[in-house]
Each structure stands twice: as structure tokens, then as C-alpha cells.
Chain A
Amino acid sequence: MAILAPEKGWWQKKVASDEKTWIMFAAVVALALFVLMVGWHLLGKQNPSYIVYSTSPDEFYKLAQANWAKYKVGEEAGIPVVQPPPDADVFVLASTWKWEPVLVLKKGANYKFHVSSMDLLHGFSIQPVNMNFAIHPGYDYVLTFKPTSAGDFRLMCNEYCGPGHHTMIGKIKVED
């Protein structure tokens, strides 16, 4: 009787066994989900990183330029093409409205990505593998990727960043 005060004895009323069974079952599943998240950090291969440095757009820009100069192998659509060796640091710079540089990576190798924004929030979205991260200005987000598939990938922005948002698309090439 949702619009009347509860019946006498409502506080003492025993829980029916179907309701009790359901609640127990649901609680066990909820507990398992918690264990799954923790467990994936120990055993799984896909976990958001928690390595982050405080930076500024100016400082990050300089670091990125120095890094690209070291590994630059060409230019595509006016964007530097960078081919870092396995285990190297890779700097990816988001600004309205482009991703720099174009990356050439090796399948199965680890790369330590540093990603930051020059201005607004951007969304770091690799397609078609569909991995997505939030990129902030002033924070150098360090994500260690190991590409497990080869081919041409795209880097999209999926956080609204103004009227040119839809033109913000970059490229990652993974070689076998």
C-alpha cells in the first residue's frame, strides 16, 4: 500500500524465500563483478593506466617536438610521420582540431604513449579496435599500448571540442 502507512508488524515480517534467494544471488553477482575488476588488473591485458604527469601545453609541445624529431620518417597530409622503435616513448598531441603525429608501429611491440591536449578536452579513440580515453590539457596521460593487430587504424576525437570536432582524425599504421 504505497500511499498508506505500512501494515502493523511490517518491520518483523520474514523475508519470503524467493525474495531472499534473489537478493543473495544478486549480491553474489555484484561481489563477483568487483572481484572481476580487481582481478583483471592482475591477470587481464587491458587496464586503464594510472601513470600521469602534471604538465603544461607549452612544456608538452616542446617534449613532443623533440620526440618527433628523433623518430621522424616523413610527412603525410602535412602531419609528421613518426616511427618510434619498440619500447620507446611516443608523444601524441591533441589540439583543435588535429591529432599529431601519424604513427608507424610494430605489431606485438610495447610503446609508451604520452597523450595530452593543447587546449580543450579531447577524446582519444582508436578505431576500429575501439579503445577510448579522456585527454585533458595540463595532464600527460601515459598509456602503454601493445598493438595486437596489424593494419591501418584511425585516431578519432570523441569528446566535443567545437565546430571542427568532426575533422579531428589521425592515423596509426601497425606493421606486421
Chain B
Amino acid sequence: MSFLKCDITGFNVDKRVLPLIKANAVVSVVSLLLAILTAILVLFTRWQVVHLLPVDWYYRILTLHGLVALVVWIVFWEMAGLYFGSTVVLNARQIAPGLGWIAFLLMVVGTALVAFAVLTGRADVLFTSYVPLKANPIHYLGIILFAVGALIVCGLFLANIIVAKKEKTYGGGPLPLFTFGLLTATILAIGTLLSGAAIYVPVFLWSLGLIQSVDSIVYRLVFWGFGHSAQQVNVAAMISIWYLGAFLTVGGTSINERISRMAFLFYMIGINLASAHHLLVDPIPSPAWKIVNTSYFMYLAVLASMIHAFAVPSAIEVAQRRRGYTKGLFDWLKNCPWGNPAFVSVFLAVVTFGFIGGITGVINGMEQTNMIVHNTLALPGHFKGTVVSGTTLTFMGATYYLIPLIFRKKISFFGAAKAAPWLFAIGIVLLSAGLSTLGYLGVPRRHWDITYAGGPFTYTYPPIADLLWVVAVLGGTIAFIGALIWILVVVISVFFGKPMTGPADFQLPLASPLPPESKEHDSKFVAPGTFALTIIWMLAFLIFATISWGWLSMMWEVK
């Protein structure tokens, strides 16, 4: 076994883990290309002015988009992240790298089977494949193989950190916060993947004709134990990277690690939140079940996100203040490393995830207000603000560190690399705003023709909808361009870029060491700027909640 010492970070890196990280990262980036190409096709079909694809291809491409964007891109990237977080930052060795390659192969084959089934018209069932819609067994088999591969990598992650702890490769104390967060993500992922198995295996057998039927409500319940818990995995992984990013870019540390770790624990306890809110307007289960499970009497997972929403920016603020940027509320923010695209990505991800994804998510996830958004475009509007401008943008930013540190290449076209996160975030904000507002007007999601041509009746949405579509299309196009630039930068850097010869080639400045703390800050306001920002967020939330509930109260009465 051989290690090399990183000349930039000083970590001891197991040589055998590098190709695993690289392979998973490369496949994820290629998947993102597929995700945005299918996205743009879907968008220009939904915009009735262009109405690009014919009906069968629209649903086919939409199915592929959902799977590739939400699962393949993100999970492959997370696999790379898990290898990185359980070996490199712990100076640890990779356990059973051969098994890692088997997992990789399973996931690639699974992806290929799913893509084959969908593109040949054997699986026009969308991402959710709600029974009794039935796909060809190949489709379900592909998903199962993919999940088994991911499950193996979760096992390797656990093995790595157990051995690292035993061998005291990182000093023997508690795990670093970044790896602790990833551990949360991994534990959640194991539950998630088991939920996936619990529903995809019966459905696979059903598609083969070995099982008579699968109940549609049970399917929705268990499927979302997979489908949405997976998003909680993404959130945990994303927030781990936020803490990492705060440290790498400005040297910031969570001002209270006990609180940050507790918040990660809340994600695990509050996980049912994720699956239950998908059934809020289903005939079963009962309101009591729905309310308890979406909230656990109090929004634990939401509270966890609120804690991170303070902890991440305050880590940055406190570090900046120690550097002397103490003027007023926001001098620290003004003097952040805005030339570092990784910092910009994390910053924009925090803001958009909070203000768009977070606010809409909580309101959509309440039992009654869910009635006015269920299956409307407000939902894609919501998750563009979580998994796209949050998770995807965070992973994009973190990739800027993988290129020099893991691939040992300089980032090509650094100017373009800096522009990409801005374009992507601005585009997604517009897209999300357009889609969400259309959703509040009742425009359905996953719908080929909202003029209802061919139906017995017609319906015309209010004229403002035309304008909102333009906003959405404009935003989607800008985001597409941003993502495309990012993909080109990554691919060109990795395959054709100049090799890193030493620390002098490193384009993303690592934070300089912090000056010593001047005095003990305990129990005083240490991050007034962050406090102000979180209060602004809360006001925005309360305004939006009031509007939504007010709107609800004007609907027909129903009980």
C-alpha cells in the first residue's frame, strides 16, 4: 500500500482511492450534461410558444431528466465525496478498493439499463413510476443494481472511518465535522436505499408477473421513503460541504460544533418528515398521522436546517471579524473572497436554498397548504431551489477543489469558471420564481399541453401566466448556459488541462491562518451580521406563510 503526501494540504492520500474518486466524479459530470440537455428539451416543450417535443418523447425525456438529474448525477458525485471524506481528510487508507470498483460497475450498468429502457419507450413512467403504471422489468432492475452499488459504497465509507479511528490516522478524537456530516448522510442513505429495495423489488417482481399487484398508496408511502429521504441525504452532504467550504475559503469553523453536530442528528430523527409530506392529499393515512409525521410535533429536520443556516454563515463571519473586518453588520461579507468560485458557489447555494427551497418547502409540506400546490408547477419550483441551486451548485463549487487536489490539474478558463456559478444561480432563481408562481396559478407539473387540446373542454390560464413562462424560460436558458460552461471547464481541465506542478499553481487560495482570538466571546453576540440575515429570512418566511394561508382560506370549503 502506498501513500502520497499532498503538497498543498499536507494530507496522506492512499493512491488507490484516487482513481475511484476520479471515476465517480467523471461519470457524475457526464450525467449532469445529460441532465441539462434533457432539462432544456423539457422546458422548451412546456413553453407552449415552442412546444418542442411530441407527446411520447416529452414524457420519455422527462423521465430521463428526473432520473439522471436527481439520482445519477448527484449520487455518483456523492460517491466521490464519500471516498474523499472517509480517506483523504482522515489520512486513512481505502478498505477493499476492489469492492469499490464492483460498486462503480453496478451503478454504471444500472444507469445504462435505465437509460436504455427509457429511451426505447419501455419505461414511460416518469421518475416516480407510480403503480399501476408499469415499466419493463429492465427499468426496475437497473434502479436496483444502481442502489446496490450505492449501498456498497456506503458500507465502504463506514469501514474506512472505523479503521481510520482504530488506526488513529486523524488523531483519534471525534471525527472532523465534514466527515461527521457525511456519516449522517451515509446512515440516511442506507435507510433510503433499503426503502428503495422494499419498493423496487416487489415492483420488479410485479413487472415480471410474479406478484399480482402492488397497492398504489403503499407504493407512494414506501417509494417516498426512498425518493425524498434521498433528498435528506443530499442536504446532509451539501451542508457538510458548506462547513468544509467555510473552512477552506475563509478559515471559518462552526462557532459551536456541539450545536452543528446536534443539528445533523436532528436530520436523522426527523427523517420521516421527508416521506410523509408526499401523501398529504392522499385518502390515506389520517390527518393525525400526516401532521405528526411531517412535523414530529415540531419541525425537527427544519429546525436542523435553521441551525445550520446560522452556523455556516456565522463560521464565515467570525473568521472574517477575526481578520479585522469588524465594521458594521456586513463588512465581513463584503470582504469575502468573491474571486473564489468555490466560495461564490457555497454562498449562493446557502442563500437560494434558504430563501427559495427552504421557505417553499416548509409551506408546501404543511397539510392544508399542500392542497393548493400538490402536483402543480410550484413543486418543481420548490426543488429547483433545493436540489438544483442548493445541492447541485454546492457540488459544482466543491468540484473546483477536486480538479487541482485530486485530478492534479489547473482549472482551465478560470474566468469562465468564476462566471458559471453566478449564471447558474441567477438562472435557477428566475426559473424557480416562474415555475412556483405558475404553480400557484394552478398550472400542473408534468403536463404536455396546458391548452388541453384534444380534451372535451378547454381552459385558459390568466394572461400573467404567459409572462411567467417567459421568466421561467429565460431563467432556464441562463442556468443551462451556466451549467454548460461549468461542464466544459471541468472536462477541459481534467482531460486537457495543465498539470499541477506544485502549490504555486493552486488557483483557489486556501485561507490564511487566522490571527489568535482577541478575547473570549462566549455567551455574547458573536455574529450580528448572520443574526440579522437569519431574522430577515424569518420575516420573509412569515410573510410567505401568511400569503399562502390567506390564499388557502379563500378556496372552496372542503372537509
Q: Measuring CB to CB, which residues of chain A are less than 8 angstroms from any residue of chain B?
A: 1-7, 10-11, 13-19, 21-23, 25-27, 29-31, 33-34, 36-38, 40-41, 44-50, 52, 76-79, 97-98, 119-121, 123, 125-134, 136-139, 141, 143-149, 154, 156-171
Contact residues in A for B541 (Cβ distance below 8 Å): 29
- CB within 8 Å for A19 and B281 given contacts A2-B177, A48-B558, A147-B556: no
A176 to chain B, nearest CB (A): 15
B355 to chain A, nearest CB (A): 15
Interface size, chain B (Cβ < 8 Å): 109
Q: Give the segment of B186-194, B415-423, B452-460 that binds chain A.
A: B452-460
Tell whether, in the assembled complex, residue B298 and residue A125 are in contact, meaning their CB atoms are under 8 Å apart.
no
- CB within 8 Å for A127 and B442 given contacts A18-B526, A137-B216: yes
Q: Which among B370, B457, B527 is the interface contact of A171 at CB below 8 angstroms? A: B457
Tell whether, in the assembled complex, residue B528 and residue A18 are in contact, meaning their CB atoms are under 8 Å apart.
yes
Chain B, 253-280, CB within 8 A of any chain A CB: 253-259, 279-280
A48–B371 alpha-carbon span in the complex (Å): 8
- CB within 8 Å for A3 and B368 given contacts A52-B283, A123-B444: no
A131–B303 alpha-carbon span in the complex (Å): 29
- CB within 8 Å for A132 and B376 given contacts A37-B291, A146-B558: yes
Contact residues in B for A52 (Cβ distance below 8 Å): 283-284
B373, CB-defined interface residue at 8 Å: yes
Tell whether, in the assembled complex, residue B177 and residue A6 are in contact, meaning their CB atoms are under 8 Å apart.
yes
Tell whether, in the assembled complex, residue A130 and residue B454 are in contact, meaning their CB atoms are under 8 Å apart.
no
A123–B126 alpha-carbon span in the complex (Å): 15
- CB within 8 Å for A13 and B216 given contacts A30-B299, A169-B459: no
- CB within 8 Å for A30 and B302 given contacts A77-B456, A160-B446: yes
* Nearest 8 pairs of A and B residues by beta carbon: A158-B444, A5-B173, A77-B456, A52-B283, A167-B455, A26-B306, A130-B442, A2-B243
Tell whether, in the assembled complex, residue A5 and residue B175 are in contact, meaning their CB atoms are under 8 Å apart.
yes
A14–B307 alpha-carbon span in the complex (Å): 15
Q: Which among A31, A79, A131, A159 is the interface contact of B371 at CB below 8 angstroms? A: A131
Residue of A nearest to B303 (CB): A30
Q: Measuring CB to CB, which residues of chain B are less than 8 angstroms from any residue of chain A?
A: 55-56, 59, 89, 124, 126, 130, 132-133, 170-171, 173-179, 215-217, 220, 240, 243-244, 246-248, 253-259, 279-284, 286-287, 290-291, 295, 297-299, 302-303, 306-307, 310-311, 314, 362, 366-368, 370-376, 440-442, 444-450, 452-459, 462, 521-528, 530-531, 534, 538, 541-542, 545, 549, 552-553, 555-559
Residue of A nearest to B373 (CB): A132
Contact residues in A for B258 (Cβ distance below 8 Å): 10-11, 13, 15
Residue of B nearest to A116 (CB): B283
Pull 20 A–B residue pairs with CB atoms less than 8 Å apart, ordered by A: A5-B175, A30-B299, A34-B298, A40-B367, A48-B287, A52-B284, A125-B376, A128-B462, A129-B555, A132-B375, A133-B371, A139-B284, A144-B559, A160-B447, A163-B55, A163-B56, A165-B446, A166-B55, A166-B452, A170-B457
A63 to chain B, nearest CB (A): 16
B390 to chain A, nearest CB (A): 18
A29–B259 alpha-carbon span in the complex (Å): 19
Residue of B nearest to A41 (CB): B287
Tell whether, in the assembled complex, residue A119 and residue B376 are in contact, meaning their CB atoms are under 8 Å apart.
no
A137 to chain B, nearest CB (A): 6
A8 to chain B, nearest CB (A): 9
Contact residues in A for B445 (Cβ distance below 8 Å): 158
Q: Which among B220, B366, B442, B555 is the interface contact of A37 at CB below 8 angstroms? A: B366
Contact residues in B for A26 (Cβ distance below 8 Å): 303, 306-307, 538
Q: Which among B290, B374, B538 is the interface contact of A29 at CB below 8 angstroms? A: B538
A104 to chain B, nearest CB (A): 14
A135 to chain B, nearest CB (A): 8
Contact residues in A for B556 (Cβ distance below 8 Å): 46, 126, 129, 131, 145-149
Contact residues in A for B375 (Cβ distance below 8 Å): 123, 125, 132, 134, 158-159
Tell whether, in the assembled complex, residue A46 and residue B371 are in contact, meaning their CB atoms are under 8 Å apart.
yes
Residue of B nearest to A143 (CB): B558
Contact residues in B for A131 (Cβ distance below 8 Å): 371-372, 555-556, 558
Q: Which among A44, A98, A132, A164 is the interface contact of B281 at CB below 8 angstroms? A: A132
- CB within 8 Å for A1 and B176 given contacts A14-B522, A33-B299, A46-B558: yes
Tell whether, in the assembled complex, residue B557 and residue A146 are in contact, meaning their CB atoms are under 8 Å apart.
yes
Residue of A nearest to B170 (CB): A5
Residue of A nearest to B545 (CB): A33
Tell whether, in the assembled complex, residue A45 and residue B527 are in contact, meaning their CB atoms are under 8 Å apart.
no
Tell whether, in the assembled complex, residue A156 and residue B444 are in contact, meaning their CB atoms are under 8 Å apart.
yes
B262 to chain A, nearest CB (A): 10
Tell whether, in the assembled complex, residue B523 and residue A16 are in contact, meaning their CB atoms are under 8 Å apart.
yes
Q: Which among A48, A79, A121, A169 is the interface contact of B130 at CB below 8 angstroms? A: A121
Q: Which of B126, B133, B553 has the most CB of A within 10 A?
A: B133
Contact residues in B for A167 (Cβ distance below 8 Å): 452-456
Q: Which among B133, B454, B526, B558 is the interface contact of A47 at CB below 8 angstroms? A: B558
Contact residues in B for A30 (Cβ distance below 8 Å): 295, 298-299, 302-303, 306
A11–B553 alpha-carbon span in the complex (Å): 47
Contact residues in B for A161 (Cβ distance below 8 Å): 133
A121–B259 alpha-carbon span in the complex (Å): 43
Residue of B nearest to A3 (CB): B89
Tell whether, in the assembled complex, residue A134 and residue B283 are in contact, meaning their CB atoms are under 8 Å apart.
yes
Residue of B nearest to A113 (CB): B558
- CB within 8 Å for A18 and B295 given contacts A2-B253, A47-B368, A146-B558: no
